[in-house]
């Protein structure tokens, strides 16, 4: 089924075969309705079966309908489905917090729960400010984050991040006094030809230090980065040594080193925390996690707090001055706890690494092999674990044979893949600071994907790439 390219607010816009909708959707087409899902497959109302190559938005890490998680949710509903955390705590929340801190090798001492990634990053912003407010440095009120980043869709997290197209309509109301930006760490696009990896890291370190000095080093709360950039530029890991260098600047001036692992964390990169494999092993002072925490079974996120933060708060208020009604929800925590136990008991991090490597190999053969029609346009295939980005580029001479008619290739490809039975995430504007360049597809299958499913994924994906190219030849 091809998504109908119409606005849901247009009267009489419902295309044949689709239900009318009372939802103001996020897409300029009415999305098809999912009626059931199992493992890596989703069944639509139309009867079409889709292979979930994106885990939704890098969320469904143990697949759909896992019996152990379903059972944990059912059991918890029979015990207690809701308590308010200003009055009562609950068993799954306590057990989940214990598990998250005990598996961190001492990196994190306490955690707090919220209902998703934006809330987790909002919580990080507030907690880091609370930390300095309570530890005798109230003049610290500025954050430094990076261009081509994404930290959530609330006003504060849009201000913190720099995602050109997502922030554009709201630029007039974003906070430019307290949120500042330095260059992305995106070697394939921004490392200069005459620079070694070390030189590039040093340039970025020096830029961060210069930004500290410009703002006044004792006014900076912290430096914030996605360990592996997700939606903004499509699975971009930093060069080796980058996080060590950036943390050294934070340490020099007493600021916090903060990681957003909402998308890349909780196993997505093949290690529990992305910084363990893609962040020079440098643990942050504060970290946000979400998507893989609940695996799609519950709306949940968490803020993980290091000993430094906890020690500061213990000497002061001793509590987290931040709340939402559904924080530490028992059902969400029970589901999340079960997801995390499944990842361990089924050894899914290892499977994620193995199948991820297989996915990379097959993608490279199909899209960059000697006779691949996609090769001239496949700029980069990158990632790790269960998180892969395929970036396309149309600056090559062969692009003269195509007419995309002003449409973003990644979005055309996402639609074509869906038609062919595969869910992927397509992003445009991912490779330039003004959001005008870049087409990337993000693949983020469940950690328990099988090798047969990986083969099917690459086959449908390759067919879809070639299908879009063929449809736009001139
Ligand atoms: C790195 C990062 N931070 C924060 C968020 C926001 O998370 P949520 O959509 O759960 O609010 C996202 C979502 O994609 C993300 O990728």
In the chain, which residues fall in CATH 3.40.640.10? 67-345
Please identify, by atom number, the ligand 1 atom nearest to the C-alpha of residue 261: 1
- Atom number of ligand 1 nearest to Cα 157: 4
Q: Tens digits of per-residue pLDDT, 125-139?
A: 999 999 999 999 999
* Cβ of 205 less than 6 Å from ligand 1: no
As a whole number, the mean pLDDT across the chain is: 95
For 244-253, the pLDDT digits (tens) are: 999 999 999 9
pLDDT, residue 29, reads 87
Give the whole-angstrom CA distance, residue 185 versus residue 164. 16
Quote the tokens at residue 358: 């297989």
Q: Which residues contact 249 (CB under 8 A, 6 or more apart)?
A: 205, 208, 209, 212, 223, 255
Ligand 1 midpoint to CA 436 (Å): 22
Q: Decide: 40 in ligand 1 pocket, CB within 6 A.
A: no
Pocket flag, ligand 1, residue 433 (CB < 6 Å):
no
Q: Going by CATH, does the domain composed of 67-345 fall within 3.40.640.10?
A: yes
pLDDT greater than 60 at residue 280 = yes
Ligand 1 pocket check for 313: Cβ under 6 Å: no
Which stretch of 190-194, 284-288, 387-391, 431-435 has the lowest confidence by average pLDDT?
431-435
- 263 in contact with ligand 1, CB cutoff 6 A: yes
Please say if the pLDDT value at position 5 is more than 50. no
| Proportion of the chain in helix, strand, coil states, percent, rounded to 5 | 40, 15, 40
| 423: three-class secondary structure by DSSP | strand
- C-beta of 232 in contact with ligand 1 (< 6 A): no
Mean pLDDT of 305-327: 96
Query: What number does the ligand 1 atom closest to the CA of 161 have?
Result: 3
Cα of 15 vs centre of ligand 1, distance in Å, is 31
What is the CA(14)–ligand 1 centre distance, in A? 30
Question: Could you tell me the distance, in angstroms and rounded to a whole number, from the CA of residue 336 to the centre of ligand 1?
Answer: 17
Give pLDDT, residue 190: 97
Confidence at residue 16, expressed as pLDDT on a 0 to 100 scale:
59
pLDDT tens for each residue of 64-78: 999 999 999 999 999
The answer, yes or no, to whether residue 234 has pLDDT greater than 70, is yes
Q: Are 33 and 44 in contact (CB under 8 A)?
A: yes
3-state DSSP call for residue 301?
strand
Ligand 1 centroid distance, CA of 291 (Å): 8
The CATH-assigned architecture of domain 34-62+347-471 is Alpha-Beta Complex (3.90)
Expressed in angstroms and rounded, the spacing between residue 441 Cα and the centre of ligand 1 is 17
Residue bearing the CA closest to ligand 1, atom 3: 151
What are the tokens at 234? 């499509």
Q: Report CA(124)–ligand 1 centroid distance (Å).
A: 13
Ligand 1 centroid to Cα of residue 150, in Å, is 7
pLDDT in tens, 37-57: 999 999 999 999 999 999 999
CATH 3.90.1150.10 residue ranges of the chain are 34-62+347-471
Ligand 1 lined by 296 (C-beta under 6 Å): no
Q: Is 55 in the pocket of ligand 1 (CB under 6 A)?
A: no
Supply the pLDDT for residue 17. 62
Q: Determine if ligand 1 sits within 6 Å of the CB of residue 118.
A: yes
Is residue 353 within a helix (H) or strand (E), and if so which, with residue range?
helix 348-368
- Chain-centre distance of CA 280, in angstroms? 19
Q: For residue 257, what pLDDT is reported?
A: 98
**Per residue, what are the HEC states of 104-156?**
CCCCCCEEEEECCHHHHHHHHHHHHHHHHHHCCCCCCCEEEEECCCCCCCCHH
Site to substitute for ligand 1 among 291, 299, 301, most atoms within 8 A of C-beta: 291
Q: Is any atom of ligand 1 closer than 6 Å to the C-beta of 353?
A: no
Does ligand 1 lie within 6 Å of residue 179's CB atom? no
Distance 129 CA to ligand 1 centre (A): 20
């Amino acid at each position: 089924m091809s998504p109908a390219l119409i606005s849901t607010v247009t009267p009489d816009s419902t295309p044949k075969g689709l239900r009318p909708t009372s939802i103001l959707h996020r897409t300029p087409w009415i999305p098809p309705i999912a009626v059931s899902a199992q493992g890596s497959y989703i069944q639509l109302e139309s009867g079409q079966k889709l292979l979930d190559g994106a885990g939704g938005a890098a969320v469904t890490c143990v697949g759909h309908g896992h019996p152990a998680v379903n059972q944990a949710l059912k059991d918890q509903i029979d015990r207690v489905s809701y308590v308010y955390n200003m009055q009562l705590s609950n068993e799954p929340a306590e057990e989940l917090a214990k598990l998250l801190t005990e598996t961190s090798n001492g990196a994190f001492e306490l955690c707090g729960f919220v209902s998703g990634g934006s809330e987790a990053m909002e919580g990080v912003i507030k907690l880091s400010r609370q930390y300095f407010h309570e530890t005798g440095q109230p003049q610290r009120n500025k954050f430094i984050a990076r261009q081509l980043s994404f930290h959530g869709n609330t006003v504060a997290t849009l201000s913190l991040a720099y995602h050109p197209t997502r922030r554009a309509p709201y630029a007039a109301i974003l906070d430019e006094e307290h949120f500042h930006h330095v260059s992305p760490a995106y070697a394939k696009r921004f490392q200069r030809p005459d620079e070694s990896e070390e030189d590039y890291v040093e340039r970025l370190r020096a830029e961060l230090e210069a930004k500290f000095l410009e703002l006044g080093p004792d006014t900076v709360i912290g430096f914030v980065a996605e360990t592996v950039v997700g939606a903004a530029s499509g699975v971009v890991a930093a060069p080796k040594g980058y996080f060590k260098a950036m943390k050294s600047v934070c340490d020099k001036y007493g600021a916090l080193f903060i990681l957003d692992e909402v998308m890349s964390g909780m196993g997505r990169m093949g290690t529990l925390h992305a910084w363990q494999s893609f962040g020079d092993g440098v643990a942050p002072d504060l970290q946000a996690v979400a998507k893989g925490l609940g695996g799609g079974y519950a709306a949940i996120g968490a803020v993980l707090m290091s000993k430094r933060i906890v020690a500061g708060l213990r000497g002061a208020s001793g509590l987290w001055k931040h709340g939402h009604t559904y924080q530490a929800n028992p059902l969400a925590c029970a589901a999340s706890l079960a997801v995390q136990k499944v990842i361990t008991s089924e050894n899914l991090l290892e499977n994620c690494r193995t199948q991820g490597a297989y996915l990379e190999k097959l993608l490279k053969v199909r899209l960059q092999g000697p006779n691949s029609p996609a090769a001239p346009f496949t700029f980069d295939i990158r990632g790790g674990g269960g998180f892969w980005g395929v970036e396309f580029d149309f600056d090559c001479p062969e692009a003269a044979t195509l007419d995309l008619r002003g449409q973003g290739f990644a979005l055309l490809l996402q639609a074509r893949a869906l038609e062919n039975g595969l869910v992927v995430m397509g992003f445009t504007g991912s490779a330039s600071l003004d959001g005008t360049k870049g087409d990337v597809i993000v693949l983020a299958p469940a950690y328990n994907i099988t090798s047969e499913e990986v083969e099917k994924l690459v086959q449908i994906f390759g067919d879809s790439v070639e299908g879009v190219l063929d449809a736009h030849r001139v």
